[in-house]
Structures are given as structure tokens and as C-alpha cells.
Amino acid sequence: MTDPALSVPRLVWRGDAAEAGSRLVPRETPVALTYNRSTHAVMLATPADLADFAVGFSLSEGIIRHAEDIMALDIVSVPDGVELRMDLAADRLDALTRRQRRLAGPSGCGLCGLDSLAAALRPVPKVADGQGFTAGMIHTAMQSMPAAQTLNAATHAVHAAGFWTPRRGLVALREDVGRHNALDKLSGALACAGVPASDGLLLLSSRVSVEMVQKAATLGGSVIVAVSAPTALAIQTAERAGITLIGVARQDGFEVFTHPRRIGPQPVRHVA
């Protein structure tokens, strides 16, 4: 497959002097997600971890319930991009046909092309209580991200979504030019590995919009931690889903916007 980054020429100015050089920039590739040879969506994404993307997108869109619902997956390079060709189990294909929609999203826009306003604000599932975490765990988790963000270290232009548990540390991290895509890739990775999202922290290098909360709820994540602030609608959605939403997570602290019961001075193994 195509490398996720490309070296391009640039002219660097420092003060009154210019010097020729090069820079690595992330690729942004059209990725078509097809089910039983019918195209459902075309997203602009970084061409890496595409099998995870196929599974995670299918889960977050409600097309499948489990990774095993995808009977076959082929990643095919085509002249204009990449096709993720999936074959679904018969019951899931029937469900998809009933709710078929088309969307074309710039850099993983999670809401582009929706057929109605109601679809944008679809109900979210209630997440399990999961476990509790200390403030120290939140800091440790966020500090584990930069070393794993290899594509961002090279390009300074992509988002990341990670998953951290007290026992295993940083379990997985995925990167993409689109923050929604990064979370979908992480979702697919966790689903394929059989890792329950309620056991740890979902870490985001981006702001938290409503569709990020919707994806987290579908994944079953009970705690979201992000470096930036959430939107008002994201907060309302997290409240309904029972998700602990943490934003502005920096070295000097963080802010808890919903369901603070999971965060305390001591780890809480069983949350009421």
C-alpha cells in the first residue's frame, strides 16, 4: 500500500534568508468502503491501518455488531484511491439495505451526507459503568501518547486516538488526518483484539465533537480524555450516554464535564 507520508519540496524562510529543503506531509487519500460490491461511503483518510478502519467504521455506523460480521475484507488499490471491499453476513447486509445512506466526507467528516437532521442526533447507547481512575492515571495515560504518535512526529499534521489501561498501559494508538478516522481505526483495532473499551481510557489528541462521543458510546468507552475542549452538544450527548468526558487535559491538570464519579483520589474498581 501507499506510504502514509510523502516528502515534498519546500522553501524555508528564517528572517530575511530562504533555503530550499523538504518536509514530510501526510497523505490524504479517497477511501471507498464497499459492502457486497456496493459503495456505502467515500472518506478522505490516511492510507494506514485500513483494515482497522474498515472494521471500526462499520461498527460506529451500526453496519455490523461484531468484527466477525465481516466475512471477507480486501484492501484494493485503484487509480483514484483505495477500496475496502467487505462481504457482510446476510443479516447485516439486510440491515444495511434498510438504512442505506451515502456520505462523502472531507478528512473523515462524521456527519456529511446524512439524509436528515434526526440522523445527525441519533440516540446513543448507555455505556457500562466500567472502572474508576485517579488523576495520576489520567496524566500518565496522556503522557504515553506522544511517543506512539510516529506519523505526527514526522509530519505535525495528523490526529491520534489511543486506548490506555492501568494494567497494560497504552494498548493501541492509531493516527489519521481525520480525527473521526483515527477513532474508527482504534475502534477496529480493539474490536479485532477483543479488548473491551470499558476497561480503560479513550485518549484523543483533538477536540471532542458530538460524533466523537457517538463513536465512543458505540464502542462502549466509558471515559474520554482529550487535549482540547468539547462542544456543548458533545457534553449533552456524553451526559445521556453515561460517559465521563474529560477535556483540556494538559500537564497542569484537566477538566471533567460529565459523570465525574469515575475520577477520584483513589482508583475505584466498581462504580455504583
- Catalytically active residues are 109
Beta strands 38-45 and 103-105: pairing type? Answer: parallel
Report residue 141 CA to chain centroid gap.
Answer: 17
Distance CA 76, CA 68 (A): 20
C-alpha closest to that of 67 among 238, 208, 167, 188? 188
Which sign does the torsion angle of CA 255, 246, 43, 52 carry? positive
- What is the rounded distance in angstroms from the CA atom of residue 166 to the CA atom of residue 172? 13
Give the integer Cα–Cα distance in Å for 219 and 60: 7
Angle, helix 50-60 to helix 210-219, in steps of 10 degrees: 90
What nine digits make up the cell of 46? Answer: 490516511
Q: How far apart are CA 43 and CA 105, in angstroms?
A: 5
Measured distance CA(40)–CA(81) in Å, rounded:
15
Residues pairing with 123 in the sheet: none
